Amino acid sequence: MQTILPADLSHRDRHQLLLSGVSPRPIAFVTSVDTEGNVNLSPFSFFNAYASNPPIVAIGPAIAAKTGRAKHTWLNILATRECTISTVSHSMVHAMNLTAAEYPNEVDEYLKAGFTKRNSVKVTPPSVAESPYSMECRLMENIELRRDIGGNGNLMLLEVVAFHVADSALNNGKVDPRALDLVGRMGGAYYTRTQDIFEATQPPHIPIGMDGLPEHIRTSPILTGNELAQLAYLPTLPMPSGSFPQFDESIRADSLDVELAMGRPDGALYVWLQNGDRADHATLHRIAQLYIAQGKMEEAWQTLLM
One pLDDT digit (tens) per residue for the chain, 306 residues: 999 999 999 988 998 999 999 999 999 999 999 999 999 999 999 999 999 999 999 999 998 777 778 889 999 999 999 999 999 999 999 999 999 988 898 899 999 999 999 999 999 999 999 999 999 999 999 999 999 988 889 999 999 999 999 999 999 999 999 999 999 999 889 999 988 888 888 889 999 999 999 999 999 999 999 999 999 999 999 999 989 999 888 888 889 999 999 999 999 999 999 886 777 889 999 999 999 999 999 999 999 998
Q: Which domains are assigned to the chain?
A: 6-193 (2.30.110.10), 210-304 (no CATH)
> What pLDDT does 276 receive?
65
- What pLDDT shows up at residue 199? 81
Residue 283: what pLDDT?
A: 92
What's this model's pTM, rounded to 2 decimal places?
0.84
Identify the pLDDT of residue 275.
Answer: 80
- Residue 248 has what pLDDT? 86
Length reported for the chain: 306
Predicted confidence at residue 280, as pLDDT, reads 80
For residue 203, the model assigns a pLDDT of 87
